[in-house]
Amino acid sequence: MRRFLFFVPVLCLAVRLVQAEPIPAPTPTESPYDQLQLIARTIQLIRQDYVDESKAGYRDLAYSALRGMLDTLDPHSQFMEPKGFQSMQEDTRSEFGGLGIVVTLRNGVLTVINPMEDSPGFHAGILPGDQILKINGESTEELGLNDAVEKLRGAVGEKVTLTVNRPASGEVKDYELARAVIKVPSVKDAMILPGRVSGGPIIGYVRITQFNSPTAGELAAALDKLEKKGMEALVLDLRHNPGGLLGSAVEVCGEFLPSHTLVVYTEGRSPSREYRTAARKSPPRKYPVVVLTNYASASGSEIVAGALKDLDRALVVGETTFGKGSVQSVVSLPDGSAARLTTAKYFTPGRNLIHERGVDPHIRATLTYDQEARLLRSRRLREDPTKDGTSLWDPQLERAVDALQGALLHARNQ
């Protein structure tokens, strides 16, 4: 069974489909049956006396109770009705229909983590940090994260109107987007960076937008080409990367780590939730590496950055990552519904918890709101943000180049 670090189209989650485990017997001091009696009595009371009989069906009331139980645990646990469970299973394909917007609930507000590159949301100009206030005129204030996801989905070609607040400017604007088949991009912009000093080191640059099945192979091919051009060091850009397949993230680490090196592990309440995942490729590439991160680097990006940082294989430059490092196990229920429950958390090789903490950089470098907007605009228009002397030059990337030049100079002196 594959383990996933994302739930497309708009959630960055780690999902595993599992069989239900035996339920342990209750302790003498705590019995679930007393509480079940309370729930059953309340359902019976509603069914008997609630004024609107159409809302008082036993199945509807039971589903509402289950939904409430799981929704209050954390943003990623969820009760799924049969239709929603079926949609979740379909969403593990490499292509899907949607808007390509990765969202989360931040302080109760539906907030954009990142618009996927080349998606409708990306080309419309939606930015990280934007708040979605309405979907087709309906307020998102009372919507849970998974309900919002369902409303963002729909038939390919259908138009959706999002009312978006941009906190940085205070602007509220409507965006009309057409759902499309999202083909998740992977490795982009492999290049040799323009030299800053005559005769200076040859530094390569590769950007990974998401971790999917072909990512490691695409990265290996890109690195082979850059090495043939004399590359001496690499900037691996994981900014705005929301995650992807766990196996893909581990394979990317394997490009730079010896085989059998621990990359990530999980811990939960049950020993069955513990997994240790190691790099498998050999031999690794040995030149210096800087990993670029920002607040929208999530899930698989954090596994790569955390592993390479803890194992002293790369410098991390940029901002603290998002902090999404938990595993959701999905258990099917007898009537075709399912419960998705957070059952474990990810740790880096140095025993650093990723979830709700993120990975801190060695060297902190930030972009202003205008600089980040310009950088994303350059990606939309396919402009080159690395050219010297232009307003599109990327200060975080420049800081990464400075760090690599210093590392190479130190190594030569040694």
Q: Among the options 91, 237, 310, 394, which is catalytic?
A: 310
Backbone angles phi, psi at 264, to 5 degrees: -160, 155
Residues whose CB falls within 8 Å of the CB of residue 106, separated by 6 or more in sequence, listed in order: none
Tell me, yes or no, if 324 is annotated catalytic. Answer: yes
Distance CA 186, CA 195 (A): 26
**And the tokens for 84?**
């929603």
Distance CA 219, CA 313 (A): 17
Q: Are 72 and 144 in contact (CB under 8 A)?
A: no
C-beta contacts of 357-361 below 8 A and 24+ residues apart: 357/323, 358/302, 358/320, 358/321, 358/322, 358/323, 359/293, 359/297, 359/302, 359/305, 359/306, 359/309, 359/316, 359/320, 359/321, 360/316, 360/320, 361/293, 361/316, 361/317, 361/318, 361/319, 361/320
Distance CA 121, CA 102 (A): 9
Q: Are 407 and 233 in contact (CB under 8 A)?
A: yes
Q: Are 326 and 76 in contact (CB under 8 A)?
A: yes
Question: Can you name the residues that pair with 18 across neighbouring β-strands?
Answer: 331
Question: Can you name the residues that pair with 183 across neighbouring β-strands?
Answer: 95
Q: Are 115 and 162 in contact (CB under 8 A)?
A: no
For helices 300-310 and 246-254, the axis angle rounded to 10 degrees is 30
Q: Among the options 324, 329, 337, 345, which is catalytic?
A: 324
Q: Among the options 77, 248, 297, 299, which is catalytic?
A: 299
Distance CA 134, CA 129 (A): 15
Tell me, yes or no, if 310 is annotated catalytic. Answer: yes
Q: How many helices (H) and strands (E) does the chain have?
A: 10, 20
For helices 32-49 and 58-71, the axis angle rounded to 10 degrees is 130
Sort 268 into a burial class: Cβ within 10 Å, 0-12 / 13-18 / 19+. middle
- Residues tagged active-site: 299, 310, 324
